[in-house]
Structure 1
Amino acid sequence: MSPNDHLSFTSFLDNILVDFPPQNPLVFPSSRSNDEISKNKRVISNRESARRSRIRKQTHLEDVKSKITRYKTVNHELMNRLRSVNRNGQIFGQENQRLEVELVMLQEKLYNLHNLLEIHHTLMLPSSTWPCVNNNVTQNQLSLVTLL
């Protein structure tokens, strides 16, 4: 490399730096600005779409929370009603057992009365011996009445 070459290279660099930034850049403003405009529109559209999506998601979440609250309330009410039905079922079961015992006792009394009537017919007691017909009540008649 000769010293003249060095000067020419240096002057070349000086010329480049003097013209930097170029006064008339080779830019295609119409195509680049349309691309930029399209890109900006897409960015704005995407942001708006994302915002609407967040709003829908928030609305859905609030709806689900509301349903959960309602279902918990209904479940609590149903549990209370179930407890009440179970308590009433136990009470009615106990009452039913008591009535069954009473039924057996009344059936036994009816059976005993039926037997007394059969004995009465077989002995053919006169109707005057019954206390309701005659005021003269004997000891045997009293014992028969107390059995009833």
Structure 2
Amino acid sequence: MSEEDFQFSCHGEVMLTPSELEELFSLINQPAENFDPASPSSFGSQGSNRAVYSTHERKLRRKQSNRESARRSRWRKKRHLENLTNQLNRLKAENRELKNRLGLTTQHNMLLSFENEHLKFESANLVAKLLDAYRILGTMLSQ
């Protein structure tokens, strides 16, 4: 069994061969300015590190996707709050307008009620005068 064939395992799960570990350690110890994640050569031989590269890349993409999703979610939440605030302001203005209209309608109703009472009183007086006139007329005709 060669060193290449020997694989380290942890809890029964196959991890990396010693050569793959060496490549990873060399990448970790590499200065940051020499590291280019886009270039296949930065991870040594493509075949032996494809899983490491794609897992790392998937994590980075997932992080970026989560950040974008969170940003969009915050934007939607902000827009929703702005819409609710605008709706609240519109409803408050409408409520003020309706209260003003109700106040004016109540005043108008009171004025009409007073005028109606006055007209009822005047009508009762006119009916009384008319009855007096009929009585006088009846007395004059009967004589």
Q: TM-score, normalised by structure 2?
A: 0.67
Any stretches of 5+ residues in structure 1 without a counterpart?
A: 1-21, 124-148
Rg larger in 1 or in 2? Answer: 1
Aligned twin of 1:25: 22
Residues 1-148 of structure 1 aligned to structure 2 (within 5 Å): 25=22, 27=24, 28-123=48-143
- SS of the residue aligned with 2:22? coil
Map Cα deviations across residues 107-138 of structure 1 (whole Å, 9 max, x no partner): 00000011111111101xxxxxxxxxxxxxxx
> Once superposed, what is the RMSD of the aligned Cα atoms?
1.6
How far off its partner does 1:26 sit?
5.7
Q: Distance in 1 between matches of 2:23 and 2:54?
A: 17
Q: Identity of paired residues, percent?
A: 33
Q: TM-score, normalised by structure 1?
A: 0.65
After superposing on structure 2, the runs of 4+ consecutive aligned residues of structure 1 that deviate more than 6 Å are: none
How far off its partner does 1:45 sit?
0.4
Any stretches of 5+ residues in structure 2 without a counterpart?
A: 1-18, 25-47
Identify the structure with bigger relative contact order (alpha carbons < 8 Å, sequence gap 6+): 1
